Amino acid sequence: MTKAEAKVLVGVLVAAYPHQAIEQETLDLYVALLTDLDAAQATAAVKRLICLQARWRPTIAEIREEVVEPALALPSPAAAWAEVKAAIAKHGVPYPGQMDSWRRPSWSCTLVAEAVKAIGYTEIATAEIEGVARAHFLQAYSSMREETVRAAQLPPDLKRQPAALPIESAPALLKTIADVLPVVADARLPEGQALLVRPTRPLSQGEIRRIDHGSHQGNTRNEREGEHQHG
């Protein structure tokens, strides 16, 4: 929508909640963070929220969510589970040796497929207690769905991802890790605590040995220092 259309829409919000004071800076912020939305969809979303929220003015996040969620057309968690149950009833479970001929289910959206994959189609279909499989699926799907909706709420200029670490930097990164590990060992973290390093790509055996070597050197130095202190 245009800036003028966004101002009109914000004016509707102000008129709908006369008991709530609002600063000009806040009005400007509403306008700035709503202009990327479709005017018709945003207007309909604001009208729905006004009808549903009697006391408090909808926030920018609530308006954006009300616009993007219907546009995504994602099944509700209950509908997604019903889809999985229907697929199991129709397609059954493949037996060993039948995978090539088994007709795989098709899903209404990628998120349902990803949630099924995360839990395991066969695990869901053959679960001894259906309620347990249902709970695991709903937890996975609901989390994926919420993350998708939240990501879609962001304006385009806020969806930029940080640049990936150039592959040329990998050797230097590995050397840094190897150099840091002895220092971490010196810190003597409380028992049960550890520093977790997540590499951005699988490490070769040579790289793993190099890091392990650095860690071993640090541990050996700690042991020697401990013996020296006790001596």
Residue type at 33 in one-letter notation: L
N-to-C CA span, the chain: 76
183: pLDDT strictly greater than 50: no
Local structure of residue 160 (DSSP, 8 states): P
Return d(Cα 64, Cα 59) in angstroms, integer.
Answer: 9
Q: Which of the pair, 187 or 88, is modelled with greater confidence?
A: 88
What pLDDT shows up at residue 194? 45
Q: What is the largest CA-CA distance in the chain?
A: 80
With tokens 């919420």, the residue in question is: 146
* 222-to-31, 36, 146, 187, 215 alpha-carbon distances in Å: 59, 57, 46, 10, 11
Return d(Cα 75, Cα 72) in angstroms, integer.
Answer: 9
Return d(Cα 179, Cα 171) in angstroms, integer.
Answer: 12
116: pLDDT strictly greater than 60: yes
Q: In the predicted model, what is the mean pLDDT of residues 204-221? A: 55
What pLDDT shows up at residue 53? 85
Query: Residue 75: which pLDDT band, with cuts at 50, 70 and 90?
Result: very high
Return d(Cα 41, Cα 96) in angstroms, integer.
Answer: 50
**In the chain, where the domains are located:** 3-72, 77-158, 167-230
User: To the nearest whole number, what is the mean pLDDT of the chain?
Assistant: 79
Return d(Cα 141, Cα 49) in angstroms, integer.
Answer: 26
Q: Which of the pair, 179 or 115, is modelled with greater confidence?
A: 115
Give me 194's structure tokens. Answer: 């550890």
Encode pLDDT of 119-144 as tens digits: 999 899 999 999 999 999 999 999 99
Encode pLDDT of 31-41 as tens digits: 999 999 999 99
What pLDDT shows up at residue 214? 52
2: pLDDT strictly greater than 90: yes
218: pLDDT strictly greater than 60: no
With tokens 């890091």, the residue in question is: 211
217: pLDDT strictly greater than 70: no
Give me Rg for the CA atoms of the chain.
Answer: 27
What pLDDT shows up at residue 148? 93
12: pLDDT strictly greater than 60: yes
Question: How does DSSP assign 105-141, residue by residue?
Answer: ---SSHHHHHHHHHH-HHHHHT-SSHHHHHHHHHHHH
179: pLDDT strictly greater than 60: no
Best-predicted range by mean pLDDT among 71-85, 94-108, 150-164? 71-85
Return d(Cα 77, Cα 82) in angstroms, integer.
Answer: 9
